[in-house]
Structure 1
C-alpha cells in the first residue's frame, strides 16, 4: 500500500517542473503553454503539423528551456519516442496537458454523412491518442511523485450536442477513461478534465465566430469563451486542485443549465 500523504498540501509550484502539452502549437494548447510558462514551468510544445508555430511559441514564452517536439498522437511509436526525448532532455515530466484533438462538422441527423473513416479518425485521435500519451509518459509522471494530467474535454460529452455524434462520443469516452486511469495512477498522478462549451478558436472546421457567439448568448453568463479562459482553468487545476482527480470540470458559462 502506498504511504499516505498529509493534507493541506498548498498550491502546486511549477518552478523547475516540466509540462508537456499535446496540440500545443495553437488554440487552447498554446494558451495553456503561455499560462504554465508564466508560472515557472518549462514547456514541451507537442505538435503534429504546426512545427513553425511551435518553434515560434517556444521562442516567445517567458522563461527558458522550452522545446517544440513532434508528437502526432495517432502514432503510438512516435509518442513513445517523444517521451524518450523528454526523458533525455529534462529527466522528468510533471504536468501533461492533452489538448490535441480533432472533429468534423456533421449534422447529427445525417447518419450517412458520418462515414466510418471520419468516425474512426475522431475516436482514435480524441480517445486512443490521449491514452497513448498517458501510457507513454506514465513512468516519468510517476517518477515525479506528484504529477497531474489535464485532459481538454468538452461540454459535448455531457449534453450530446456538438459538432458531430462521433465528437460527442469521443469526449464522453475521454471523461470515462479519465475515471478509470485516476483509480490506477494515484497517488502519484492525478487526472482532471476541463470541459468548455464553444471556444472562440478555429478548432471546428467551418464554424464561424458568429456561431460561437450565438452559443454564448444561450448561456447564463453570456460570455464568449476564449482559449485563455480555458488555459486559466488548466493552470488552476494544476496548481490548486490538489485533492481533485478522476473528475471533469465545466468551463462553459453555465451553458449546461
Structure 2
C-alpha cells in the first residue's frame, strides 16, 4: 500500500432483498466467529430492514457490522414505507448504504436526495457508505489537476471535515454490477484515485488519505486480491458472491492479506 495513513480494509456484503429469516440466521452462525478482528479487517452485511434487529443481536459478540441498505432523510413523520435514521441508530445500526445504483435506477434517487440522506445519517450518528456509479472517463484528463467527480461532490455537500472521517465511498461501475465481469484492477484504481483526488480537492490531501474507498461490481474471491492490492482501494462491496458464507469468509481473508 502506498498510502501514508493506514486504512483498515472493509469487506461489505450487499444482500439486497435476498435471503429469508432462516437463511440469515444460518449465515451469521457460520461467519460470526471466523471473520478477522475489526482492527485488521472490518466486515459488514447490508440486509433488508426486517432482519436488522435480529442480526444485531446475533452479532453482538462478533466483529461483523450490520448495515442498513437505505434510509430516509427525515427522522420521523408521515413517510409510509420509509425507514427513519433515528430508528436505525436506536436499534444499534452503525453503517448505512446510500445512493446505490439500484436505488437511483429503480427508485429515482438523485444526487440531491443522496445528499439529504447522507446529512440525515450523520445527524443521527450513522456512518454513510456512499455508492458512486458515475462514468469516470470524462475526468481522465484531470488526473493531475483538480477533479471534482460530480456524484462525490454532490453527496458531500455540507459535510464537514469532522464528518468526512465517518464516510466510506464505494465505487461500482454500472456495467459491472451483476454482469459477472468486474473492472480490471487498473480501471478500478484509476476511478478510486479520481475519487481520492476529489476528496483532496474538497477537503485536503491529508483528509483524503483517511477516507476508505471500496470497489464493487462482480467481485469474487478470484479477482478480489488484485483489486484490493491497489493503493487507493481499501476493500470491496460484494453482491452475489457474498450470499455464500464460505466466499464471504474467503474475501475477508484476502483482505487480511
TM-score range, shorter chain: 0.3 to 0.5
**Could you state the TM-score of these two structures normalised by the residue count of structure 1?**
0.37
What TM-score results when the alignment is normalised by the length of structure 2?
Answer: 0.37
Higher RCO (C-alpha 8 Å, min separation 6): 2
